[in-house]
Amino acid sequence: MKKAHRIVLGILAVAALAAGPAAANVLSNPDFSAGGAATSFGGTGGGGASASPSWTVFNNTAGLTKTEHLASFAGRSGVIHVTTAGGSNGLVQVWAPINTGPSKVVTGATIYVRSGKVLIGTGNGGNTGANAFTSGTGQWESIRGPNQVCPANETIIYSAGGPADFYVDFASVEVLSKDPCPQSSGGPTGGKQLPDITSKKGITIGTVFIPWGGTGVLKAADSIQSSPNNACAFNATYDMVNVGPVGTSPAFLNRLKVDGTSVVAINSALALNAGETKNITTQPYLPFGTHRLSLALDDDNNVAESNETPASNLKTVTYTLKGPCRASLPGAVAPR
C-alpha cells in the first residue's frame, strides 16, 4: 500500500490539473435538485437506491446507511442527507461502463459534515479510491481532487474512516483528458499498471466462517492450543487476491490484529500474480470475549497499488469467544 502522504500530494496537484477553461460536468443530477423517497440499506458489500435519482448507495463495511432528499438545508436548496454507521459507505454514481472513460478528471463536491469525515473520488468501477477529503464540520466546504486510477467512470462520496453524518449540495466530474491511459510514464497512477491486493470473502476460524464486516461466535472446542493468558490458538484461513493487471513486487506481508493494535499473526514473503487468488492459513492466539479482528493486507506498504483505500486493504470481523480452550492437540505446533 502507498502511504497517505502520497495521496495528499496527488490532491495538491489539482491546481495544476484544473488550469484552463472549465470542462463540462459529466455527472447526472449533480446538484441533487431531483429527489425521491428516503432510503435505508444495512448490508455489507452491496447497495441500493438513494433518495436522489442517478445516485446509488454502497456499503463497503457493516453499518446502516440512510439517505433523504431535502428541499433546503443550511441556506442551500436541493440537498441529499446521508448518515452511515460504517466507514467507506455512501453515494455512488456510475457514469460510464467499467474499463472505459477519460484518463484524467477532477472531482469536486460541496459538502456539509455534521459528524465524521467524508471523501470523494473517481476511478474505474470498484477500483476507486479517495481524491480529496473534508477537513471540518458545521459548515459548507468545497473540495476537489484529481483521479488516481485510469480510466475514470465511477464517482464516490463516502464516509472516511468511520461513521459519518453529512449533506451534499453539489458534485462534479470535469474531464481534463481523453487520451489513452499511460503505460510507461506520467498519468494518474504514475504511468504504470499496478497490482491491487484485497480479500473478497472473509475468514474461517476453526470451523466458523465469518464474512468481512460480519460477526461470529467461535467454538472453544475448535482451538488447537490453550494459553495461560485467557486466549485460544486456532487454525485460521482467509482469501487473498490480486485484482490488478500485473503481479505484486516486492514481497509483502499481512498482519492479523485484535482491536486494531495487538498483532496475533504475521504472514510474510507473500506474492500474487495478476488475477491470482490464494488461501492463507495462520494460527493466531485470540483472547476471550468480544473483539474486533482485522486483516491488514500489505501492512508495511511495500507494494504500490492502484487502490489504497481501507475498503480494499483493511478487512475486519467481530468475534466472540468463551473459554475454556480445548487442551493442546498432540503434536500441535505453537503459533508464531
What is the rounded average pLDDT for all residues in the chain? 86
- How many of the other CB atoms lie within 10 Å of CB of 113? 21
The model's confidence at residue 325, banded by pLDDT at 50, 70 and 90, is confident
238 and 300 fall within a common domain: yes
Residue 12's SS3 state is helix
Contact criterion met (CB below 8 Å) for 113 and 199:
no
Instruction: Reply yes or no: is the peptide bond before residue 330 cis, omega within 30 of 0.
Output: no
In a domain, 73, yes or no: yes
In a domain, 329, yes or no: no
216 and 165 fall within a common domain: no
Range list of H helices, the chain: 4-12, 14-17, 310-313
pLDDT tens for residues 233-254? 999 999 999 988 889 999 999 9
165 and 270 fall within a common domain: no
Q: In the predicted model, what is the mean pLDDT of residues 273-296?
A: 94
Q: In the predicted model, what is the mean pLDDT of residues 271-292?
A: 94
C-alpha cell at 301: 506498504
Residue (of 203, 25, 195) closest to 127 by Cα position? 195
In a domain, 334, yes or no: no
146 and 237 fall within a common domain: no
| % of the chain with per-residue pLDDT over 90 | 63
pLDDT tens for residues 1-31? 333 322 333 333 343 343 445 579 999 999 9
Specify the higher pLDDT residue, 188 or 35. 35
Residue 253's SS3 state is strand
Most distant pair of Cα atoms in the chain: their distance? 73
In a domain, 332, yes or no: no
Residue where a domain terminates, one of 113, 144, 177: 177
Number of domain units in the chain: 2
85 and 49 fall within a common domain: yes
In a domain, 192, yes or no: no
The model's confidence at residue 197, banded by pLDDT at 50, 70 and 90, is very high
Contact criterion met (CB below 8 Å) for 246 and 296:
no
166 and 234 fall within a common domain: no
47 and 172 fall within a common domain: yes
For residue 46, is pLDDT > 90? Answer: no
In a domain, 299, yes or no: yes
In a domain, 186, yes or no: no
Of 65-74, 93-102, 319-328, least confident by mean pLDDT is 319-328
Residue where a domain terminates, one of 127, 148, 177: 177
252 and 114 fall within a common domain: no
Q: Can you give the pLDDT at residue 261?
A: 85
| % of the chain with per-residue pLDDT over 70 | 87
Residue (of 79, 54, 62) closest to 213 by Cα position? 62
276 and 143 fall within a common domain: no
Q: Can you give the pLDDT at residue 8?
A: 33
156 and 223 fall within a common domain: no
Q: How many residues does the chain have?
A: 336
Residue (of 59, 107, 49, 122) closest to 80 by Cα position? 49
> What is the rounded CA–CA span in Å between residue 262 and residue 265?
9
> What is the rounded CA–CA span in Å between residue 127 and residue 108?
18
Q: According to the per-residue pLDDT averaged within each range, which of 55-64, 122-131, 181-190 is highest? A: 55-64
Question: What stretch of H or E contains 2?
Answer: none
> What is the rounded CA–CA span in Å between residue 265 and residue 315?
14
- What CATH number is associated with residue 290? 2.60.40.10
Q: Can you give the pLDDT at residue 185?
A: 36
> What is the rounded CA–CA span in Å between residue 46 and residue 38?
18
The bridge status of strand 236-242 relative to strand 231-233 is unpaired
b or e along 260-297 (b: 16 or more beta carbons within 10 Å of the residue's beta carbon)?
Answer: eeeebbebeebebeeeeeeebebbbbbbbeebebbbbb
- What CATH number is associated with residue 76? 2.60.120.260
> What is the rounded CA–CA span in Å between residue 67 and residue 39?
5
The bridge status of strand 140-146 relative to strand 104-115 is antiparallel
Residue where a domain terminates, one of 117, 143, 177: 177
Residue 16's SS3 state is helix
Q: Can you give the pLDDT at residue 4?
A: 32
Residue 87 sits in which domain range? 4-177
For residue 147, is pLDDT > 80? Answer: yes
Q: In the predicted model, what is the mean pLDDT of residues 199-222?
A: 93
What pTM does this model have?
A: 0.56
275 and 210 fall within a common domain: yes
90 and 239 fall within a common domain: no
Q: Can you give the pLDDT at residue 110?
A: 98
Contact criterion met (CB below 8 Å) for 54 and 146:
no
> What is the rounded CA–CA span in Å between residue 78 and residue 31?
7
The model's confidence at residue 230, banded by pLDDT at 50, 70 and 90, is confident
pLDDT tens for residues 61-94? 888 999 999 999 999 999 999 999 998 899 999 9
> What is the rounded CA–CA span in Å between residue 159 and residue 238?
26
In a domain, 183, yes or no: no
